């Protein structure tokens, strides 16, 4: 199916909602819990916070690019991105929290400055995709929402807005490389299906919107089933 229409206003709203969901989870999380593992392999809560703060800084770079036309990549290089996450994860918790809050506010302010033609300007993502600046709030919404779940601090995909979940499934279904199995996804209580290109006869997979979003993003697949109730096929990593 063709992707549902996702407006800039939708993306900005989800970015704000995701920031609030993440903020509430973090406010309830004691500093020492950040030392423990997140749900992402090899990453502590501190790594996740450093990544979220650095991602906001990186998107500020894209907003600058859109506003001025002066090319400013998200990260100087993939190696620097990873090194900065490692270095950030070693910061005291209070500094990490302050960095994240400051970077998120700066991103809000920089996006609020963009005029109509600047929103349409082309920028390049860290994955090398050329997109318009319209994609920036969506990219941020995706990061804050999905990583709020990855924090393992009480937020689950079920807690995320349904419109966001449907847009996330649209996005991943359209963007997943054909390296994995071909899929046809049906969400219970939701009109339409999604097709994911890939190898073999398409596997028919059913779940809730939240379940399918978790499954497609490579997080968890409980409650997502193939015909007959068996488990859905395993997927390669995403994001
Ligand atoms: Zn991320």
**E strands of the chain, at which residues?**
122-124, 130-132, 181-187, 193-196, 199-207
Same domain assignment for residues 28 and 143: yes
- Ligand 1 centre and the CA of 227: distance in Å? 32
Rounded Cα distance between 138 and 125, Å, is 12
CATH code of the domain covering residue 94: 1.20.120.450
- Ligand 1 centre and the CA of 123: distance in Å? 19
In a domain, 25, yes or no: yes
- Ligand 1 centre and the CA of 186: distance in Å? 26
Q: Calculate mean pLDDT across residues 74-97.
A: 96
Q: Is the pLDDT of residue 2 over 60?
A: no
Domains identified in the chain, total number: 2
Same domain assignment for residues 115 and 171: no
What percentage of the chain carries pLDDT values higher than 90?
82
Same domain assignment for residues 151 and 166: no
* pLDDT (0 to 100) of residue 129: 92
Same domain assignment for residues 147 and 170: no
128, 155, 182 - which closes a domain: 155
- Ligand 1 centre and the CA of 148: distance in Å? 10
- Parallel, antiparallel, or unpaired: how do β-strands 122-124 and 181-187 relate? unpaired
- Ligand 1 centre and the CA of 55: distance in Å? 7
pLDDT band at 32; cut points 50, 70, 90: very high
The rounded Cα 130 to chain-centroid distance in angstroms is 18
**Range name among 41-45, 55-59, 88-92, 231-235 with the lowest pLDDT average:** 231-235
Same domain assignment for residues 70 and 178: no
- Ligand 1 centre and the CA of 239: distance in Å? 6
Q: Calculate mean pLDDT across residues 139-145.
A: 98
List, in order, residues 6 or more apart from 201 with CB less than 8 Å away.
Answer: 182
* pLDDT (0 to 100) of residue 223: 87
Same domain assignment for residues 138 and 202: no
* pLDDT (0 to 100) of residue 27: 95
DSSP one-letter string for 83-124? HHHHHHHTS-HHHHHHHHHHHHHHHHHHHHT--HHHHTSEEE
96, 130, 155 - which closes a domain: 155
Same domain assignment for residues 136 and 180: no
* pLDDT (0 to 100) of residue 177: 67
Domain that holds residue 181: 162-229
Does residue 93 or residue 189 have the better pLDDT? 93
Same domain assignment for residues 117 and 192: no
In a domain, 129, yes or no: yes
Q: Is the pLDDT of residue 239 over 70?
A: no
Instruction: Give per-residue pLDDT as tens, 168-184.
Output: 999 999 877 667 889 99
In a domain, 2, yes or no: no
26 within 8 A of 20, measured Cβ to Cβ: no
- Ligand 1 centre and the CA of 140: distance in Å? 9
Same domain assignment for residues 151 and 34: yes
- Ligand 1 centre and the CA of 230: distance in Å? 30
Q: Is the pLDDT of residue 6 over 50?
A: yes
Phi, psi for 126 (deg, rounded to 5): -65, -25
Exposed (0-12), middle (13-18) or buried (19+): which is 128, by Cβ within 10 Å? exposed
pTM, full prediction: 0.94
Same domain assignment for residues 29 and 138: yes
């Amino acid at each position: 199916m063709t992707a549902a229409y996702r407006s800039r206003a939708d993306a900005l709203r989800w970015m704000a909602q995701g920031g609030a969901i993440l903020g509430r989870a973090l406010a309830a999380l004691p500093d020492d819990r950040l030392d423990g593992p997140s749900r992402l392999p090899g990453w502590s809560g501190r790594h996740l916070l450093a990544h979220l703060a650095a991602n906001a800084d990186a998107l500020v770079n894209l907003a600058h690019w859109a506003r001025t036309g002066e090319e400013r990549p998200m990260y100087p290089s993939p190696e620097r991105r990873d090194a900065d996450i490692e270095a950030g994860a070693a910061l005291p918790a209070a500094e990490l929290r302050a960095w994240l809050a400051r970077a998120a506010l700066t991103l809000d302010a920089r996006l609020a400055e963009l005029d109509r033609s600047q929103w349409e300007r082309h920028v390049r993502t860290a994955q090398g995709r050329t997109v318009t600046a319209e994609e920036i709030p969506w990219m941020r919404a995706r990061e804050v929402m999905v990583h709020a779940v990855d924090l393992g601090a009480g937020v689950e995909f079920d807690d995320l807005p349904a419109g966001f979940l449907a847009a996330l499934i649209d996005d991943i279904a359209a963007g997943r490389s054909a390296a994995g199995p071909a899929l046809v996804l049906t969400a219970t209580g939701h009109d339409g299906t999604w097709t994911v290109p890939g190898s073999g006869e398409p596997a028919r997979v059913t779940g809730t919107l939240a379940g399918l979003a978790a499954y497609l993003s490579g997080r968890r697949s409980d409650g997502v089933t193939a015909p007959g109730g068996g488990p859905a096929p395993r997927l390669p990593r995403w994001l």
